[in-house]
Amino acid sequence: MEQQKPRVAIQGIRASFHEEAAFKFFGENITTIECNSFKQTFDKLQAREADYVVMAIENSIAGSILPNYSLLLSYNFPVIGEIYLPIQLHLMGLPGVKFEDIKTAMSHPIAIRQCDDFFNEHPQLKVVESSDTAACAKRIREEQLTDTVAIANSLAAKLYDLQILERRIESNKKNFTRFLILTHHENAVNINANKASLCFQVSNEVGSLAKVLNILAEEGVNMSKIQSMPVLGKRNEYNFYVDVEWEDDKAYDTAIRQVLKYTHNFNILGEYKRYVEE
């Protein structure tokens, strides 16, 4: 029997950065489930219309995508992996279109912000915001727009048969986005895990968070990220989202047992292998 392709839910459409991240994690032999929102990707997973979700969680320029932390907690699907994707933005239009013919540039607001220097150099271009980078490329192809360009990745140029007029127009060449991969509990096998995403609350007393952080340090567990978010409807109460990395499983297990004494509503959102650039 032929093995079924993994169905991967992404926010956005084919050839978006989310699909590029999915290809990087799973390879290109997947079925991409296009969704209008991050919440919809989780709903597809919950309804078993998808096997996995690939979701952006932070960008090196724009910072953390805070609403997505809330989704992690409210749906409670395990994180089984991560991918860091360099964000390379290209200016693309229909084949044969010349730069001097262009009047309008379309893209996602975050992508537009990441190309400030380019737009400062070309103030004649009207900038139009859209919900998705790849959707802009698709629209140019479908509507045969000869005076409009999209800012998107090379995957979008290839899929929608567009010509790249200017490469790498992002202002910061070290721009990357981190994506998390989530699935159903029965699919979550954490072989050789050396990273975990945790969420917990601490009491509103002096030094309560410091106690937790000291335990991690004493056990040699590295905290690679901390993000706090207010607990909805509770004054002075915060969820702390913490990513930790370790070399020794025993040290991690000991640290977790100790941390439990000083936290409440403690959740392990996922244990997985740390992403290492090949």
Residues marked as catalytic? 177, 179
Alpha-carbon distances of 249 from 193, 195, 211, 245, 270, rounded to whole Å: 9, 10, 21, 10, 15
Burial class (CB in 10 A: 0-12, 13-18, 19+), 13: buried
Rounded Cα gap, residues 90 and 167, in angstroms: 5
Rounded Cα gap, residues 211 and 231, in angstroms: 21
Q: Which helix (DSSP H) or strand (DSSP E) does residue 176 occupy? A: strand 176-183
Assigned token pair, 129: 């915001």
In contact, 275 and 82? CB cutoff 8 Å: yes
φ, ψ at 135 (rounded to 5°): -60, -35
Alpha-carbon distances of 244 from 16, 82, 160, 216, 272, rounded to whole Å: 29, 13, 40, 8, 11
Nearest to 122 by CA among 104, 110, 140: 104
Q: At what angle do helices 38-46 and 66-75 cross, to 10 degrees?
A: 10
Instruction: Find where tokens 């954490």 sit.
Output: 190
